[in-house]
Amino acid sequence: MKVRSLLTDRETIAVRLDDTVLEAVRRMTQTRCGSVLVNDEGGKMKGIFTERDLMVRVVSQGENPSEVRVADVMTKNVYVASPEQTIVEVRREMRDLHIRHVPVVEGDRVLEVLSMRDLQRADLQEKRETAEHMSAYIRGEQ
C-alpha cells in the first residue's frame, strides 16, 4: 500500500517561526495534534515542532514556553515522505529515526502530516482484510 492511500482532507496545522512555544502548544492542544509544522512568512515548511521537542528542549531545560520561540527549539531536519512511498518503507524509517510524525510532501507542498498511529491503523486494517479473505477461502466462499 502507498502512503497516498492514507491521505484525507485533514487540515495541516502550522505555526510561524516567530511564534512562542506556548502559542504552538495551545494550537496543538486545540487541534488535538502531537505536532505542528513550522512555516516561514511565505508558508514554506522550515521545521516541525513536536511533543518530544517540547519535553526535551523546553520543559526539561527549565525554559519558559511563553518566552521561547518555536524556531529555536523545533526539529529542523525533517524526514518527509512521498505519497508514492510504501507504508512499510515510511513506517521503517519512522521507527529507525525514532519519530512519530511525518509530513507527506509532493513537490513543494505539504499534503498532510501522518502519525505513527495512522500507519498502524492502516496496517491493522490490511491485516483484518487479509484474515477475512483467508476465512472466506477456507469456508469455500471464494
CA distance 24 to 82: 26
pTM of the complete model: 0.84
DSSP state of 82: -
Helix intervals (H) in 3-142:
21-31, 51-53, 70-73, 87-97, 116-138
Residues 38-96 have pLDDT tens digits of: 999 999 999 999 999 999 999 999 999 999 999 999 999 999 999 999 988 999 999 99
- Whether pLDDT at 119 is above 90: no
Which domains, from first to last, does the chain contain?
3-138 (3.10.580.10)
In the sheet where 35-39 sits, what is the strand order?
A: 14-16, 35-39, 45-50
- Whether pLDDT at 129 is above 80: no
